Every structure is written in C-alpha cells, then in structure tokens.
Amino acid sequence: MDKPISKLTPEQEADLAATRDNWLKIGLSTAAISRDEAKDAVSLMYSCAGLEPPKVFIFLDSPRQGAMAAALLKDSKFGAQVWDQVWDQVGAQVRDQVWAQVRDQVGAQVRAQVWDQVRDQVRDQVRDQVRDQVWDQVGAQVGDQVRDQVRDQVWDQVWDQVWDQVWDQVGAQVGDQVGAQVRAQVGDQVGQAVYGSHEAPWLAFYEFFMRHFDLAKKANGLMAVAKACGWVWPFAGCAIITDRPAIISMDDQNRLHRADGPAIEYRDGFAVHAWHGVRIPSEWIDTPEALDAKSAVTWPNVEQRRAAIEILGWNRVLDALEAKSLGGNPDPKIGELIEVHLPFEDDDGNDTTRALFLKAQCGTGRTIFEAVDPEGIDLDPRFDPAWCAQAWRDGYAPADWLPPEIRT
C-alpha cells in the first residue's frame, strides 16, 4: 500500500480554492434555471440511481410551491396552520400550475383522468433512491478510499476550506433558512426534497476528492441537478423542479441580511427576511411600525431579540422603556445591568412592570440583551451589578463566579 499523502501539491491547493469558489457560485446563484438543462440533469440523476427517468416534469417558482405540489400529488393533508395561512394565498395557483403542466405533458384527457393517472404514478416517492442511497454510497466511498490515502491534516484542510466555507454561506445561511421558512408554512414536505444548488457543501467536498483520488462518479447526477436546478421532489414517473432564488442578500460577513426587504426572495414572492444571519418575522422589515420596544426586549428567542433591538436602535428602546443603568463592568463581555419599566399591567394592577436586563457583548462581538430575574439575582454590594447578573445567569453566587476564558 502506498504511503498516505500528508500534503497537497500546489496544483491541488489551487484546485481546492477553485472548487470552493465554483460551488459557492453554484449555491448562491440567482439566475433563473433553464428548463431543458433541468430536465436533462434530473433525468441523469434518476439514471445514476438505476431508475427510469420521469415522463412528467412540473416546474414551479419556489420551494414553497414545490412542497405544496408534492403534498397535492400525494394527497397529503395540510395542517390547519398551513391551510389557513398559505393555501388561501397560493394554493389554488399552485394547483392550477400543476394541473396545466400535467395536462400538457400527459395528453388532452379530462381533468379527473389526468389527475388520477399522475397521482397514481407519484405515490411512490423515490427521493431515498436518488439522494440518500447515493449519499450513503458516496460517504462510504470517501470514507473507505480517501481516508486510507490521506493523512488527517489533508482531510482537515479539504474539510475546512471546502465543506465548512461552502456550508457557512450556502448550507447554513441559505438552504437551512429556506427550509425552515418552507417547513413553517407547508410542513414536512421539506424533508422529501433533493435540495439542488443547496446541496453544494457536500458535493464540493466530494467533487474535489473525486477528481484527485480516482473515485467512481456516483454523485454525477446529483451534481448535475445542483448545477441546473433549485429544489427537486422526485417521484416515480414525475419530478417537481423549482427555480433558484431571484435575490440573495448578505452582509460583509457573508450572513443573510437586508435592511429594506427580503434577504432571500423567489420569483413567486416567497421570501426569507434576515438580520445579520438571523431569520426574523417579515413585518419587522416590511412594516417596521409593527415592532415596538416592549416586543423587542421580551421576544422569546435571544438572537431574534437582539436583531429586533438593533432594528429599533438601542437609544429608541432604552428611551421608550425609561431605562436606568444600575452599574456596569469595565469588561464589555461582562456588560451592564439595566433597569427598565415594561408597559403592561402586572398582577397588582400597576401599569408598568420593573424588569432587569443584562446588556453585554457576546463571543461574536455583537451586543446581547438578556432578561434577568429581579427576584433571583443576588446583588452583592461587593461586586458590580453586571458581575452579579453574569453570576446569576450561570447559576453561581457572585463571590464564586469567574468570567469564562472563551465565550460562544
């Protein structure tokens, strides 16, 4: 057996960067798909999985429409939330688009006959065969063949420079956020998709090793789909293919962000709003008057709370809540304890309620605003109030608490 490789050649290192950049371009593309190229790519994906290519291709504008069409074709039942909030807006439109495309491709038959024919075909979803089985084969192939040929430092270098960097921008920032938004509106159909261009992180990793370590081209079909399509729902005899986003907006740290509209938007209007990488309610951007200081500081999710406060601005929030500093620490990571008066009635009938918040810098350098229990905190006079608040949040008495060396 040859000695494992401990260092990439200069040519391989150059290709590593080129592979990363190419898959970032694929994963962040906002170009409209070509239907002919998408059909060819999906057909290749089926063939690589040992399946007959679909006879019917349904093209839709967004993953939300794709998930709804998949549910329609399978006779899935929408939850009440989806039916009430989404179906009235776009459900009939999706149904009509699906019907028109099926009718055009299957033939001029009466509506019920066409619908029954396609529905019978698509009851057998083949997503596991076209993606998960390939994933398992690819994972085994990379694990068995590549790990025997390279030392840990080479594996880690490829992982860090390709998988991690593409994942941070494409997987975590775009694919996961789109998936969460679709899941919130349409439900579990998200998990039945092949994610097309948003499969970029692992496909980039695999493609590099495929080129340089003589791996069989098991993922060629999925790579073709990633380069030609948005999300795809594969069924026996039928594939639903959706377009790429029309807009992807990021901040200077490559996090989803847009202050005046959606950070991700598809051609049918389906959108994701985000503030420096945090998905937020659309009304915070579209109708900012809907966001007030009380909502901002009491929002349950701490990351969204931080975003809400940043959108409003600290001065506006603190002025609205009659904020008063109870004392701070020279270290911004320990921060400052602030007293505010929240504008709602308490159990005693008072029209405001006293609340405490810790304002501090987190490990990423951003400011957080965290609620502190006024009854639970031990305001030991030997320590500043912010120190006492940090001790309380970590479950210590002020005298027993020490700042952590590393904050996440």
Q: Residue 360 class from Cβ within 10 Å (0-12 exposed, 13-18 middle, 19+ buried)?
A: buried
Residue 393 clears pLDDT 80, i.e. is over it: yes
Higher pLDDT, 169 or 85: 169
Q: Do 27 and 197 contact (CB within 8 A), yes or no?
A: yes
- The DSSP symbol for 5 reads B
Q: Which residues contact 333 (CB under 8 A, 6 or more apart)?
A: 360, 361, 362, 403, 407
Residue 127's pLDDT is 64
CA geometry: angle at 217 spanning 158 and 43, to 5°? 120
- The DSSP symbol for 125 reads B
Residue 205's pLDDT is 85
Helix 220-228 to helix 35-48 angle, to the nearest 10 degrees? Answer: 160
If pLDDT is split at 50, 70 and 90, which confidence band does 81 have?
very low
Largest distance between two CA atoms of the chain: 84
Separation CA 107–CA 164 (nearest Å): 47
Q: What is the dihedral of CA 100, 103, 105, 108, to 10 degrees?
A: -140
Separation CA 118–CA 219 (nearest Å): 28
The partner residues of 235 in beta bridges, in order of sequence, read: 125, 238
Q: How far is CA 357 from CA 98, 303, 349, 373, in A?
A: 51, 15, 22, 8
Return the structure tokens found at 324. Answer: 């008063």
Q: 319-377, pLDDT tens digit by residue?
A: 887 789 999 999 999 999 999 877 655 556 555 577 898 999 887 777 878 889 988 99
Return the structure tokens found at 301. Answer: 């999710």
Q: 221-247, pLDDT tens digit by residue?
A: 889 999 999 999 888 788 889 999 999
If pLDDT is split at 50, 70 and 90, which confidence band does 76 have?
very low
Identify the three-state secondary structure at position 93: helix
Q: Which residue matches tokens 């389906």?
A: 270
Return the structure tokens found at 317. Answer: 């929030």
